[in-house]
A and B are shown apart, each in its own frame.
Chain A
Amino acid sequence: MTRRDLIHKWTVYALGLLPVWVLDAYILSRYPLWGTSPMLLPLAVAAVAVLEGAYAGTGFGLAVGLLWELAYPGGFGGLVFYLALAGMAMGAVSQYALSQSFAGCLICSAGVLGLLDLLRVARGLLVDLASLSDLLQVAVPEFLWSLAWTPPVWLLFRTIYRRVGGTKLA
């Protein structure tokens, strides 16, 4: 794969991320379902990591983490490393333990979302933000509603993968 092909491939992936980001940041946040907005960006990382493997998953996770930290309010930096690490882990797990399928993506998405919410609940308990039950009342619907968005996100990135993914441009 030439350098030009590589740039072409990742430009298409970035363009694929654009509607996911707009939907996540500006549309779904306006219309929460029972007061809950989904998190779509970790799903995009999961889909790309499952399809492209650990190395590409790390890079894509890093880029999405940067987007999340810089374009959303209240960033503290941790998401860049978390999503890069998650991208690597999901890519490796899909290569060795799972398959490059929707089921694999769903399991990886559940993992990345679950751990993220778990960290938020732990942080909430640590800073005495609220009781465990109050924190879980936010975390559980958020996890489930976000996970429900896995199919469209997976379909979008699988379509991109089928056209430009892997070494297809080589």
Chain B
Amino acid sequence: MKDFLRQNGILLLAIALLLSILIGALSFVMGGQADPLSDLMGVLTTPIRRGVSAAADWAEGAYGYVFRYGEMEQELKDLRAQVGELEERVRQGEEAIRENEQLRELLGFQARRRGLTTEPAKVTGRSTSNWESTLTLSKGTSAGVDAGDCVITETGVLVGVVAEAGTNWSTVSTVIDTDTQMGGIVNRTYSAGVLEGDFALMNKGRLKLNYLPEAAQLVSGDEVLTSGRGDMFPSGLMVGRVEGVFTDPSGQTRYAVVQPAVALDSLIEVFVIKDFEIVE
């Protein structure tokens, strides 16, 4: 300890304290934008992050090909059958869309539109902490990605919301993270609620649809979509399915536990919604 005091150890501790305060203040001031130090670090570590991610993805693919070939073959058969069923439903849907357009025209309603401007991005990192659920993406502000942008899969399933954006990287809080809060709606009953991450449920890979109306009659398997209330996030994005309905310990409100439709552990590529225009 004498050495510590002789070698200006207190000065080192003072520097550490100042750096802590500086980083804390910068992250507070910058909000969703990465502070300059974190941004620089993110840019410098990008090659390592991308290299490790590419190697791990390749190894997982090779492992799957060698050890799960039978399973994958069965999955392919199931998917082919599913494609057949979906093609039939698409034909029925197209018919319904045509009819809907004609009726809207007759009533003088504005044509329904759904335009999403997306940016593809690779998942280069996953949650490093057990206390949050995040993903790191390969795109940042240089590609037009900003904090608050929604992130979806290629099939339009909600992955999460960009929490912090750096120059060529961004961090996404996934749908199960405790920071998640957005309007949700049950597709079958149109019961609206608030989609919220819950710490206890996060570790089970689930989230809550909170503040459900008392009259809401939900059943297990009901689809939950984003409601788009507040125009912050696009409406109609698939979030997941209802697993069960419970009453809050206070007895005041009811909530549904939702199983996300996205497989967060196996995501490789996602799409960031940079802009959207939806006319219902």
Contact = CB atoms under 8 A, between A and B. Distances in A.
Interface of A: 22, 24-27, 29-30, 32, 35-37, 53-55, 58-59, 61-62, 65-67, 69-81, 83-85, 88, 91-92, 95-96, 120, 124, 129-131, 134-135, 137-138, 141-142
A91 B200 CA distance: 37
Contacts of B53: 26
B278 interface: no
* Main DSSP-derived SS at the B contact region: helix
B19 A129 contact: no
Interface centre among A59, A78, A84 (most CB of B within 10 A): A84
A3 to B, nearest CB: 15
A130 B209 CA distance: 17
Contacts of A22: 48, 52
B19 A77 contact: yes
A18 B221 CA distance: 46
Interface in B45-69: 45, 48-49, 52-53, 56
A120 B38 contact: no
Given A27-B52, A37-B128, A131 B4 contact: no
Interface in B9-40: 9, 12-13, 15-17, 19-25, 27, 37-38, 40
B153 interface: no
Contacts of B132: 73-74
A84 B4 CA distance: 12
A159 B96 CA distance: 71
A22 B131 CA distance: 20
Contacts, number: 141
Given A54-B3, A73-B171, A74-B132, A62 B9 contact: no
Contact of A55 (B4, B20, B42, B129): B4
B130 interface: yes
Contacts of B126: 29-30
A92 B22 contact: no
Interface residues of B, number: 47
Contacts of A54: 1, 3-4, 9
Contacts of B259: none
B129 A129 contact: no
Interface string B233-267: 00000000000000000000000000000000000
A92 B4 CA distance: 9
* Main DSSP-derived SS at the A contact region: helix
B125 interface: yes
B211 interface: no
A129 B23 contact: no
A95 B2 CA distance: 11
A49 to B, nearest CB: 11
B56 A70 contact: no
Given A22-B48, A26-B52, A55-B4, A75 B23 contact: yes
Nearest to A124: B199
Given A96-B1, A138-B203, A71 B45 contact: yes
Q: Closest 3 A-B residue pairs measured CB to CB?
A: A77-B24, A77-B23, A84-B16
B207 interface: no
9 contacts: A29-B127, A35-B203, A58-B13, A69-B38, A73-B128, A74-B129, A77-B27, A81-B19, A96-B1
Given A74-B132, A124-B199, A26 B125 contact: yes
